[in-house]
Structure 1
Amino acid sequence: MELTIKEKILKLLSNYPEGILQSNIYRALNVSKSRVSEVLKDLEYSGLVVRVRVGNQYVVKSRVHVGSVLRGRVVRLGIVWSSEYPFITPFIKLLKDRLGFEVSVTVYTNAITATSALVRNEVDLALTPLITQLYAYSLTKSLRILGGGVYGGSAVMVSQSSTNDEVLCSEFSTMDLCRLLAINEGLIDTSTTKYFSNPLTDLLPNIKYRKFKYVVVWHPLTEYLRMHNYKYVVSCSDLGIKYCCTLASTTAIDSDLRSKISEIYQIALEEYSRDPSKWVEWYSALVGISPDLIVKSVNEYKLQPYIDLGLIREALSKARLGIPDINSLLNAFEFK
């Protein structure tokens, strides 16, 4: 069977990992400029290629790298440091049992770093904040969101003894969205914000000396803040955030495999829900958070396995996010 133009372009690009001039593609394939341009736009929108403008020409690169899951039997999963994800334990087990994949897990300190790793194909799957994934999708079209996860566990907290009126939170994350919603609701009386990158090195020293009046954090950091006399203002879920981190995949994984992974993920969440305590020990060792805190997190976080676009649209609208258009962001979801 003869290859389609799309397949021919992808095959050609696989021979040029550093990229090839767009003008060389139509010459190599003996296809018109307009047809190549049309197909490349479609491939770029699907996240399979990236075009970089150099002078008055485009260099085209494939996003399907040799190190991706398509070429091996190892799936690279990225997560953000948190007590949120003990359900990845049955997920990892099922990926091996049903698809024969070993899973390598990398723990990142923040949402931006973890989601950037997915965009750059340094990981194949990522559990990172939904809001971060949506903006990464808008900028790159190189990921698709496969399933939900859990919500809750995060809150706006206040220290009445702090003389500094600033807000401290993580950037471009669920916490950042929660901060914005709290300001819009009049629950935080300042809009001056400082961001931390690493919760262990950047956040904890500031909390010890109560340098910030408001802090927006997730579990188990909420436990640490309680120890230092920070009080709850509002939980992020009460502000309408019904998704924290969701499962996203690089588009370097083909759609059929993404569908299988999504199905396995839903089964894993269901298995986890039957006995969460069964999966605590391994996850505790992975992230370096005590088993006692992981057990507490089971009560802090609530499962939200399926994607509800209505809930997501409501939260984004409430935050008054208008750029880009919300409906265009919702195209990031693979299975609606």
Structure 2
Amino acid sequence: MGAGSRGSLRHRLLGLVAAEPGLSVSEIAARLGASKSTVSVLVRRLEAEGLLRRVRRGSMVLVYPAQGAAGGSSPAGAEARRLRLGIVRAAEYPFIAHLAKALRHRGVELEVVVYDNGLDASFDLVSGRLDLALAPLPTQVLFYALTGRLRIIGGGAYGGAYVLESRAARGHTAYTTRASTMELCLNTSGVVDYAEAVVYAGAGHGIEEALARGRARYAALWEPYASQALSRGDVRVVAACSDLGVENCCTLAANPDRLGPEQRSLIARLYSEALAEYQRRPDAMLEWYSGLTGIPVDTLRRVQASYRIAHEVNPATAERILERAGMRMPRPALVREAVEQP
């Protein structure tokens, strides 16, 4: 290898580690198309020069920019940084366990905060209390329109949500959550045309209770609450949200003030890999997720087959569904602006 080749590899290696801190020597070698031994020697040399540092994690050696080196950051700053992710209490996110594992390999702990609804999670995201949030796509687009302080960086699971009807209800009131995928499903299903009023609840258990007490004739509800409502026998499915053309439910958004473009790009890649791992082994992390959310493992196991995975958000599809549901944005281009393309 000539001096020019060595210089090129050195520059590429430093750039790769700056963009994706915490890669192993094997991962770096594969990305750069170099041998593991060549990369290992170069990493040691750059560490001696004070440009890189190596951190052992079990049997692996992970490579980071040296503290204070230009571009030196893990996905959220210093190596031991904690990322805060907000989710809505639902059965659809067991894949975040794989994201947590991938981040831990890079020296970053993922703290998960569970919310009753997407409005609160999205508010905390744009307020800087969270780094990331899995929340309904319509909610995220509206918060983007209001504040500009989020970027949608990944898709997620969809399905496992239904428009329901209670045959025991006394009136024709519809229940849903405000500015959410559930409201989108309710509007798209057409049952609102028969409703006397639409009531917004703050949590899934509130909608389920309204069905149980005969206050709600119609409701848009997600798992595990939908299964609990259907177990009573006087509730039927009007439509599955996935059959209404809703291809994104809760999607991953980041606060751009807390996570820069390179950090968001890295997290988006790790997140997509986590979704793929979940597709291969949907039952692998259910106990971990049950402990996080309080949803029984047997319930999680029963409903996993109802979910499909969308790795990305298609802005054109999202715009069409929002418009069909009557959820118009101030400008159509807002959806395309809010979604970061890989």
TM-score normalized by the length of structure 2: 0.74
Residue 261 (str. 1) matches residue 249 (str. 2): no
Q: Secondary structure of the residue that 2:273 maps to in structure 1?
A: helix
Among 223, 226, 230, the residue aligned to 1:222: 226
CA distance in structure 2 between the aligned counterparts of 1:95 and 1:260, rounded to whole angstroms: 10
Cα deviation for residue 211 of structure 1 reads 1.5
Counterpart for residue 87 of structure 2: 79
Counterpart for residue 297 of structure 1: 303
Residue 326 (str. 1) matches residue 332 (str. 2): yes
Q: Residues 166-187 of structure 1: CA distance to partner in whole angstroms, max 9, x if unpaired?
A: 001111111111111123xx67
Q: Residues 226-272 of structure 1: CA distance to partner in whole angstroms, max 9, x if unpaired?
A: 12221000111111111000000001211111000001111111111
Counterpart for residue 118 of structure 1: 125
Among 186, 192, 195, the residue aligned to 2:197: 192
Q: Residues 20-39 of structure 1: CA distance to partner in whole angstroms, max 9, x if unpaired?
A: xxxxxxxxxxxxxxxxxxxx
CA distance in structure 2 between the aligned counterparts of 1:254 and 1:121, rounded to whole angstroms: 14
Residue 313 (str. 1) matches residue 306 (str. 2): no
Counterpart for residue 173 of structure 1: 180
Q: Is the 8 A contact 1:316 1:326 kept in 2?
A: no
Larger-Rg structure:
2
Counterpart for residue 276 of structure 1: 282
Q: Residues 198-237 of structure 1: CA distance to partner in whole angstroms, max 9, x if unpaired?
A: 333x334322222211011001111111122210001111
Counterpart for residue 247 of structure 1: 252
Q: Residues 143-168 of structure 1: CA distance to partner in whole angstroms, max 9, x if unpaired?
A: 00001001111111001221110001
Q: Which amino acid in the other structure matches residue 167 of structure 1?
A: A
Cα deviation for residue 70 of structure 1 reads 3.7
Q: Which amino acid in the other structure matches residue 82 of structure 1?
A: A
Counterpart for residue 208 of structure 1: 212
CA distance in structure 1 between the aligned counterparts of 2:193 and 2:101, rounded to whole angstroms: 43
Q: Which amino acid in the other structure matches residue 171 of structure 1?
A: R
- CA change 1:209–1:321 in 2 (3 A) is closer
Q: Secondary structure of the residue that 1:278 maps to in structure 2?
A: coil
TM-score normalized by the length of structure 1: 0.75
Counterpart for residue 54 of structure 1: none
Among 108, 119, 124, the residue aligned to 2:115: 108
Q: Is the 8 A contact 2:290 2:297 kept in 1?
A: yes
Cα deviation for residue 317 of structure 1 reads 2.5
Q: Is the 8 A contact 1:151 1:243 kept in 2?
A: yes
Q: Which amino acid in the other structure matches residue 315 of structure 1?
A: I
Q: Is the 8 A contact 1:127 1:247 kept in 2?
A: yes
CA distance in structure 1 between the aligned counterparts of 2:293 and 2:231, rounded to whole angstroms: 21
Cα deviation for residue 329 of structure 1 reads 2.5
Cα deviation for residue 309 of structure 1 reads 2.2
Gaps of 5+ in 2: 1-74
CA distance in structure 2 between the aligned counterparts of 1:211 and 1:316, rounded to whole angstroms: 28
CA distance in structure 2 between the aligned counterparts of 1:132 and 1:283, rounded to whole angstroms: 24
Counterpart for residue 49 of structure 1: none
CA distance in structure 2 between the aligned counterparts of 1:218 and 1:84, rounded to whole angstroms: 9
- CA change 1:109–1:187 in 2 (3 A) is closer
Q: Which amino acid in the other structure matches residue 89 of structure 1?
A: A
Q: Is the 8 A contact 2:185 2:246 kept in 1?
A: yes
Gaps of 5+ in 1: 1-67
Q: Is the 8 A contact 1:90 1:268 kept in 2?
A: yes
> Mean Cα displacement is larger for which, 218-227 or 77-86?
218-227
CA distance in structure 2 between the aligned counterparts of 1:237 and 1:187, rounded to whole angstroms: 18
Q: Which amino acid in the other structure matches residue 225 of structure 2?
A: L
CA distance in structure 2 between the aligned counterparts of 1:320 and 1:208, rounded to whole angstroms: 29
Q: Is the 8 A contact 1:135 1:329 kept in 2?
A: no
Counterpart for residue 52 of structure 1: none
Q: Secondary structure of the residue that 1:248 maps to in structure 2?
A: strand
RMSD value, Cα? 1.7
CA distance in structure 2 between the aligned counterparts of 1:161 and 1:139, rounded to whole angstroms: 40
Cα deviation for residue 188 of structure 1 reads 5.0
